[in-house]
Amino acid sequence: MHEHGTGGDTQQRVLRAIPSRGLAGTVAVPGDKSVSHRAVMLGAMAIGTTRVKGLLEAADVLRTVQAMAALGASLERHADGTWHISGVGVRGWREPEQTIDFGNSGTGVRLAAGLVATTPVKVIFTGDESLSRRPMQRITQPLSLFGARIDTAPGGTLPMRVIGAEEPVPVSYTLPVPSAQVKSAVLLAGLGAPGTTTVVEPVACRDHTERMLKAFGAGIEEEMHDGARHIHVTGMQELSAQEVEVPGDPSSAAFPLAAALLCADSRVVVENVLLNPTRTGLIETLHEMGAEIRILNPRQSGGEIIGDLAVETSELRGITVPAQRAPAMIDEYPVLAVLAAFAHGTTRMEGLAELRVKECDRLSVTAQALKACGVEVKTGEDWMEVTGSGGAPVKGGAVIDSHHDHRIAMSFLVLGLAAQEPVTVQGAEMIATSFPGFTQLMRALGAEIEAVHDANGDAGS
């Protein structure tokens, strides 16, 4: 297995965004994180050699690469950037010699637990400080139904030990909350159980796992009953290696899009963006707010819809974002809240309970950071209201703690680009978990983002 770096942000612990205008250019954002994780995992299980182009080579996905290698797959990065992955077959995982550390990746650890739950191996998963606070009971409960034995730390958090089932049984499981990670963990576990495993999804959430399983030749069927989606996967069937091209991550595209909307006299095109209907909630919301965003050259690849997004500076108006849209844009609420701060009127976002168990409590951290920048915000247990500035620049001028959250860091750098005064973000090294090269890409568009040694702005040596 060959390691690959995570871009230019890893050493820049403190970044400052300086008010900018006239952003312009055509850029491509890194590969989609959700698709990248799944391509690595299914390639590691499939028979033959899977070739993946455009893999997101960020910290979270590289943890998944390392995990699949520890479980027996062969993964190699070639000089042209293509990854070649030789899989082990269904239930072919080997017991790893050491603990598998997933760093900050909630997707990686939860999906990997599903992969090994129906293979008789013992695996211990750990993560960093942030991931070790996130709840794991949501997967331990359904995975134990297959016959796996799973132990966690007190409170249902990492470290987590999974002893895969010797004789797994198929499961039928109804998702208590919309979670693509839980759904995916159960479907992946079902690959190693005899018979048919079913997930019932009352509220639609990301469907990348189902799309990619079909592409790899899995027996997977979907039907609607009483308004709920029933997804059936047939176990004990081998997957076939595939050619996978990973499209650009819409959650990463959100940041140059938002900056172009807010910074005066800007016109930006983001190429090759994943436009899966379960991921376009932000674009739908911004259209309702009056944003000038056009979809160019829509096309299909690997079962996914892809297109180019052309955006220009726009006057935004406040709206109510309904709770049912939350699963299609759960990672974009921090940057949406920043956009709302510059809009005319009030934007109300509902159905945000899931934000409280992300890399940090994103709901409260976003609200605190907005207030520090002079924005009027109200929050409840699962909602947030942001009163916009009426199109004028918000004050800014704050020092923001990212709380080890990459999306908080990028969202408030975007705010600083359009504010009256620069905004400084601490903990910006976390940006590398999802968007290596973020600062270089934004600077290429004309955004002023500089590295500083500490929050007081003294230059580092």
Each residue's pLDDT expressed in tens, for the chain with a length of 461 residues: 443 333 334 454 899 999 999 999 999 999 999 999 999 999 999 999 999 999 999 999 999 999 999 999 999 999 999 999 999 999 999 999 999 999 999 999 999 999 999 999 999 999 999 999 999 999 999 999 999 999 999 999 999 999 999 999 999 999 998 899 999 999 999 999 999 999 999 988 889 999 999 999 999 999 999 999 999 999 999 999 999 999 999 999 999 999 999 999 999 999 999 999 999 999 999 999 999 999 999 998 767 899 999 999 999 999 999 999 998 898 999 999 999 999 999 999 999 998 988 878 999 999 999 999 999 999 999 999 999 999 999 999 999 999 999 999 999 999 999 999 999 999 999 998 889 899 999 999 999 999 997 544 433 32
Question: What 8-state DSSP symbol labels residue 319?
Answer: -
In a shared domain, residues 163 and 310: no
In a shared domain, residues 202 and 254: no
Whether residue 189 contacts residue 41, with contact meaning beta carbons closer than 8 Å, is answered with: no
In a shared domain, residues 233 and 365: no
Residue 92 lies in a domain: yes
**From 128, 207, 308, 331, active-site residue:** 331
pTM of the model: 0.83
Residue after which a domain boundary falls, among 213, 244, 275: 244
In a shared domain, residues 143 and 96: yes
In a shared domain, residues 60 and 177: yes
Residue after which a domain boundary falls, among 244, 279, 299: 244
In a shared domain, residues 169 and 45: yes
Q: What is the pLDDT of residue 49?
A: 98
Say how many domains are in the chain: 2
Give which of 93, 50, 42 is closest to 72, Cα–Cα.
Answer: 93
Residue 313 lies in a domain: yes
Residue 260 lies in a domain: yes
Cα(96)–Cα(59) distance, integer angstroms:
20
In a shared domain, residues 230 and 85: yes
Residue after which a domain boundary falls, among 244, 261, 281: 244
Active site residue 331: yes
Q: Which domain holds residue 442?
A: 14-31+247-452
Residue 461 lies in a domain: no
In a shared domain, residues 191 and 236: yes
In a shared domain, residues 188 and 69: yes
Residue 460 lies in a domain: no
In a shared domain, residues 21 and 38: no
Helix axes 250-262, 406-418, angle to 10 degrees: 20
Residue 447 lies in a domain: yes
Torsion, Cα of 346, 352, 353, 355 (10° steps)? -110
Cα(247)–Cα(451) distance, integer angstroms:
29
Report the CATH number that the domain containing residue 332 is assigned in CATH. Answer: 3.65.10.10
In a shared domain, residues 52 and 162: yes
Residue 6 lies in a domain: no
CA distances from 277 to 56, 281, 325, 329, 373 (A): 21, 8, 11, 10, 33
| Beta carbons within 10 angstroms of residue 18's beta carbon | 15
In a shared domain, residues 262 and 298: yes
